């Protein structure tokens, strides 16, 4: 029984390690795309702009610039998002946290 548990644990650990390697470090991606600004996770962007996560997802589907790390993982540059909101005529926060 111990061998079976250890084997299952080892398989699960390898799967987790493989997934972690798939999602690149935001600083690495920022360097790769040639900007000094760090990429923000959707939750960070929502908190900074004082909107909900749902609103951030909605804006992304409407064309807000985002960097796609994996098919379900996106990161954002705050300057690009603020520019997009301004050009679009949308409401931008008066003070960014």
For residue range 24-61, what is the model confidence (pLDDT) as tens digits? 555 555 555 566 677 899 999 999 999 999 999 999 99
Q: What is the DSSP letter of 79?
A: H
Q: Is residue 16 part of a domain?
A: no
Residue from 96, 79, 91, 80 nearest 55 by CA: 91
Mean pLDDT of the chain, nearest integer = 75
- Report the half-sphere exposure of 81 (CA within 13 A, side-chain side): 29
CATH number of the domain to which 91 belongs: 1.10.10.10
Q: Is residue 9 part of a domain?
A: no
- State residue 56's pLDDT score: 95
Q: Is residue 96 part of a domain?
A: yes
Instruction: Domain count for the chain, please give it.
Output: 1
Cα gap 73→77, rounded to integer Å: 14
Q: Is residue 18 part of a domain?
A: no
Find the mean pLDDT for residues 69-89: 90
Cα gap 59→31, rounded to integer Å: 25
- State residue 38's pLDDT score: 79
Residues spanned by the domain of 82: 24-97
Residue 76 has pLDDT above 50, yes or no: yes
Tokens 């702009």 correspond to: 49
Q: Is residue 4 part of a domain?
A: no
SS3 helix, strand, coil % of the chain, rounded to 5? 60, 10, 35
Q: Is residue 11 part of a domain?
A: no
């Amino acid at each position: 029984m111990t061998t079976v548990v250890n084997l299952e644990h080892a398989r699960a650990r390898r799967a987790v390690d493989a997934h972690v390697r798939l999602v690149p470090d935001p600083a690495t991606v920022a360097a790769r795309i040639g900007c000094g600004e760090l990429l923000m996770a959707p939750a960070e962007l929502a908190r900074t702009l004082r909107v909900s996560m749902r609103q951030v997802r909605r804006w992304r589907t409407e064309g807000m610039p985002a960097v796609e790390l994996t098919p379900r993982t996106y990161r954002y540059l705050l300057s690009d998002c603020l520019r997009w909101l301004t050009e679009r005529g949308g409401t931008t926060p008066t003070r960014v946290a």
